[in-house]
Structure 1
Amino acid sequence: MTDLVAVWDVALSDGVHKIEFEHGTTSGKRVVYVDGKEEVRKEWMFKLVGKETFCVGAAKTKATINIDAVRGFAYEYTLEINGKSLKKYMENRSKTTNTWILHLDGEDFRVVLG
């Protein structure tokens, strides 16, 4: 990963997923990794801004990375989960679910009630 520009940790009902995004700002290349596995790869994109949509987790939750120019050749990257900003999604999730980590027989289990 040479052009890594953003990393997010997203807590879903099946666990925490790591999303990594590479953006080649000269070539327009975009690569999305979910839990280390390549999900999206686009080479030589002429448009440097835009969106990349993909799925995360066992429930195939919709995720979108927004790429926006902020000034000159600087870019801002934001993640949406199910159409909401990551912050808003996590706030809503904490209101509607309870989550525990249960340590049993030397293993950790994530329990989510919603």
Structure 2
Amino acid sequence: SFSPPYSLEKMTDFVAVWDVALSDGVHKIEFEHGTTSGKRVVYVDGKEEIRKEWMFKLVGKETFCVGAAKTKATINIDAVSGFAYEYTLEINGKSLKKYMENRSKTTNTWVMNLDGEDFRVVLGK
């Protein structure tokens, strides 16, 4: 019998997805956090970078590298209240929002749509 290469349960553990524009292009970072299983999985551009099972400490951080320049990225996991968690991504020690604000000051960026696909054009200053 045919079984699909994924499980439905797996999809529900994705808690955050970020698109990060680096000098070599835009990278997708996905984070799975199974609060019941204690699972933490980090994917960069669809490739598994970190997998930890049975992490009973549900808060903390995961650090990994992104892109050709091996840019340091950290996902911070914080408890907000009860069973709610907040996930923040840091790039080179800056929150993603601050990183993107800094980057927009040093580069000109346009997003254009071609045949239904968004393309980002980045010119360094």
Same fold (TM over 0.5): yes
In 2, distance between residues paired with 1:77 and 1:34? 16
TM-score by length of 1: 0.86
In 1, distance between residues paired with 2:85 and 2:76? 10
Q: CA deviation at 1:64?
A: 0.3
Unaligned runs of 5+ in 1: none
- 1:34-91 per-position Cα deviation (integer Å, ceiling 9, x unaligned): 0000000000011000000000000000000000000101100000000001010001
Higher relative contact order (CA 8 A, sep 6+): 1
In 2, distance between residues paired with 1:88 and 1:17? 17
Partner of 2:74: 64
In 1, distance between residues paired with 2:88 and 2:111? 28
Q: CA deviation at 1:2?
A: 3.8
Q: Percent identity?
A: 95
Cα 1:101–1:6 change in 2 (3 A) is: closer
Cα 1:19–1:93 change in 2 (3 A) is: same
Unaligned runs of 5+ in 2: 1-10
In 2, distance between residues paired with 1:95 and 1:58? 22
Larger deviation, residues 86-95 vs 101-110: 101-110
Decide which of 95, 99, 102 is 2:105's aligned counterpart.
95
In 2, distance between residues paired with 1:84 and 1:24? 26
Decide which of 3, 12, 20 is 1:10's aligned counterpart.
20
Q: CA deviation at 1:28?
A: 1.6
Cα 1:113–1:48 change in 2 (3 A) is: same
Question: Following TM superposition, where does structure 1 have runs of at least 4 consecutive aligned residues deviating by more than 4 angstroms?
Answer: 99-113
Cα 1:60–1:3 change in 2 (3 A) is: same
Q: CA deviation at 1:97?
A: 2.1
